[in-house]
A and B are shown apart, each in its own frame.
Chain A
Amino acid sequence: MQAIIQKEDIHEIVEGLSLDKEVIAPVLLPDGEALYSPIKRSDRVSLDSSHIPIMSAKEFFFGSEEELFQFERTSSQDIKITPAAEPKDRVFLGIRSCDLKGVRFLQNFFEKPYNDETVTRKIEKTVFISLGCVAPAEHCFCVCCDGGPFLVEGADAQLVDLEDRFFCETFTSRGEEIFSHHQNLLKPAQAEDWKKKSATIEKVDQRFTQRSYMAVGVKETSMNTVPEKVWEVLENRCMSCGSCTYVCPTCSCFNVFDRSTPEGGIRIRTWDSCSYSGFTREVSGHNPREHTRDRLKRRFFHKLSYQCLRSNGRIGCVGCGRCVVSCPAFVDMSTFVTLLRQAKSEKTNG
Chain B
Amino acid sequence: MDNIYIPLKARIVSISDDTLDVKTLELQLVDGDKKRPDFSPGQFLELSYFGVGEAPFCISSSPTKTNAFDVTVRAVGSVTRGLHSLKQNDIVGVRGPLGNHFPFESVKGRDILFVGGGIGLPPLRSLINFMLDNRSDYGEITILYGARTPSDRVYKAECAEWARRDDIEFMETVDLGDSSWKGRVGVVTTLFNEIKPVPGKTTAFTCGPPIMIKFVIQGLLKMGFKPDSIITTLERYMKCGVGKCGHCAIGHKYICTDGPVFSVAEIERLPEQP
Given contacts A279-B247, A282-B236, contact A258 B50 (CB under 8 A): yes
Task: Give the shortest distance, in Å, between B53 (CB) and chain A (any CB).
Answer: 5
Chain A contact-residue range equals 35 or more
Name the contact of B4 in the complex, choosing from A116, A279, A302, A309 (C-beta under 8 A).
Answer: A116
Q: Taking CB as reference atom, which chain B residue is nearest A281?
A: B237
In the bound complex, do residue A254 and residue B240 qualify as a contact, i.e. CB atoms below 8 Å apart?
yes
CB distance from B22 to the nearest CB of A (A): 14
Shortest beta-carbon distance from A202 to chain B in Å: 38
> Which interface residue of A121, A267, A274 has the most chain B CB atoms within 10 A?
A267
Residues of A within 8 A of B50 (CB): 71, 73, 79, 258, 264-265
Contacting residues, chain A, for B11 (C-beta < 8 A): 77
- Contacting pair A301 B6 (CB below 8 A): no
A269 to B242, CA, bound (A): 14
Contact between A256 and B54, CB atoms less than 8 A apart: yes
A243 part of interface (Cβ distance < 8 Å):
no
Known interface pairs A77-B90, A265-B51, A284-B76. Does A115 touch B2 (Cβ–Cβ under 8 Å)? yes
Cβ of A207 within 8 Å of any chain B Cβ, yes or no, is no
Please tell me if the beta carbons of A77 and B53 are within 8 angstroms of each other in the complex: no
- Check if B107 is an interface residue, CB within 8 A of chain A: no
* Cβ 8 A contact of B246, one of A77, A86, A224, A272: A272
Q: Which residues of B contact A73 (CB under 8 A)?
A: 50
A/B pair count, beta carbons within 8 Å: 123
B209 closest partner in A (C-beta): A284
Q: Tell whether, in the assembled complex, residue A224 and residue B271 are in contact, meaning their CB atoms are under 8 Å apart.
A: yes
Measured between beta carbons, the chain A residues less than 8 angstroms from B235 are 282
A78 at the interface (CB under 8 A from B): yes
Interface pair A79/B243, CB less than 8 Å apart:
no
Report if B52 contacts A (CB, 8 A).
yes
Name B76-102 residues within 8 Å CB distance of A.
76-77, 89-91, 93
Inter-chain CA distance A172–B112, complex, in Å, is 57
Q: Is A19 part of the binding interface, using a Cβ–Cβ cutoff of 8 Å? A: no
Q: B76: nearest residue on chain A (CB-CB)? A: A283
Chain B interface size band reads: 35 or more
* A interface, over-half SS: mixed
Taking CB atoms, residues of chain A closer than 8 Å to B1 are 83-84, 86-87, 117-118, 121
Judge whether B272 is part of the interface by a CB distance below 8 angstroms.
yes
- For residue A280, CB closer than 8 A to chain B, the reply is yes
Are the CB atoms of B243 and A117 closer together than 8 Å?
no
> Quick check: is A50 within 8 A (CB to CB) of the other chain?
no
Of the residues A81, A114, A288, contact of B243 by C-beta under 8 Å: A114
What is the CA–CA distance of A115 and B242 in the complex, to the nearest angstrom? 9
Tell me which residues from 30 to 63 in chain B have a Cβ below 8 Å from any Cβ of chain A.
Answer: 48, 50-54
23 contacts between A and B (CB under 8 A): A71-B50, A73-B50, A79-B93, A81-B6, A81-B9, A81-B93, A86-B1, A87-B1, A109-B244, A116-B244, A254-B245, A256-B54, A256-B245, A258-B51, A264-B50, A264-B51, A272-B246, A274-B246, A280-B247, A282-B236, A282-B237, A306-B249, A310-B252
Residues of B within 8 A of A (CB): 1-7, 9, 11, 48, 50-54, 76-77, 89-91, 93, 210, 235-237, 239-240, 242-247, 249, 251-252, 257, 271-272, 274
> What are the nearest 3 A-B pairs in CB distance?
A253-B246, A306-B252, A114-B242
New contact pairs (11) apart from A109-B244, A253-B246, CB-CB < 8 Å = A79-B9, A86-B1, A113-B242, A118-B3, A254-B246, A256-B240, A258-B52, A260-B52, A267-B5, A282-B236, A288-B236
